[in-house]
Amino acid sequence: MNTLSYGLLSLLSHTADSGYDLMLKIQPFWPAKHSQIYPLLAQLESGGYVRHTLVVQTDKPDKKVYSITDKGLNALRNWLTLPTDEPVTRDELVLKVFCMEQGDPADIRRMLEMRLAYCRDQLQWLQTKMDAYTKLNPSPSFGILLLMEKGQFAIKADLQWAEWALARLDEREAAPGSSRADEA
C-alpha cells in the first residue's frame, strides 16, 4: 500500500469511479498515468480494498466502475492517523533560475513569462472548478473546499513571485552596468 493507493481509496471514498476517471481526477493531487493506475486498482481489488462492476456502454467503451469496500474504508481511516510525509515539489524552473547568469537574459524572461501564463491558466481552471462545484452542491464537502483553497493559495504565490521576478528583471535591464552600479 503506497501513497497512490491511498489516494485512489481517498477518491473512491466520495464516489465510485472508473480507472480512467480516477486517473483524470487524481492529476491535480498526485499525478499518475493510466499505466500505473490500472495495475494498482487490480492489486487493490485482489487485496479486497475495492471491488468493481462492469458497466456496459453503447456509445463508448465499456468500463469497470470501482467502489471502496469496508476493508478499504478501514485502511483509509487508519492511514489518516499515521504521520504524513513532507510535501515534495520538483520544479525544473528553479534549477534554471539558479544558473540563469549563464544564459541569455531573453531566455530567462521568456521562461518567467511562460510560468506566469501557466499560473494564470491554472488559476482560471481552478476558479471554473470551484464555481461549478459550489453551484452544483448545496452543502459541499469541507475537505474539498479546503483543497480548492489550498490550490489557490499555492498558485497565487507562484504567480505573484513570477510577476515580482519579471519586475526585478525590468529594473535590471533599465539600469546600465552590473550589480555594482549602486556604488556611486
Q: Which helix (H) or strand (E) holds 60?
A: none
Number of residues that bind its own copies (CB under 8 A): 69
Number of residues that bind DNA (CB under 7 A): 28
33, 54, 60, 98: residue in contact with its own copies (rule CB under 8 A): 98
35, 57, 58, 178: residue in contact with its own copies (rule CB under 8 A): 178
- Indicate the residue type of 177: G
Name which of its own copies, DNA, none residue 118 binds, using a CB cut-off of 5 to 8 Å depending on partner kind: its own copies
| C-alpha cell belonging to residue 50 | 475495492
Contact between 82 and 19 (Cβ < 8 Å): no
* Sign of the CA dihedral with 7 first, then 12, 15, and 21 last: positive
15, 36, 74, 141: residue in contact with DNA (rule CB under 7 A): 36
Please work out, in degrees rounded to the nearest 5, the angle formed at the alpha carbon of residue 168 by the alpha carbons of 166 and 171: 115
Name which of DNA, its own copies, none residue 86 binds, using a CB cut-off of 5 to 8 Å depending on partner kind: its own copies
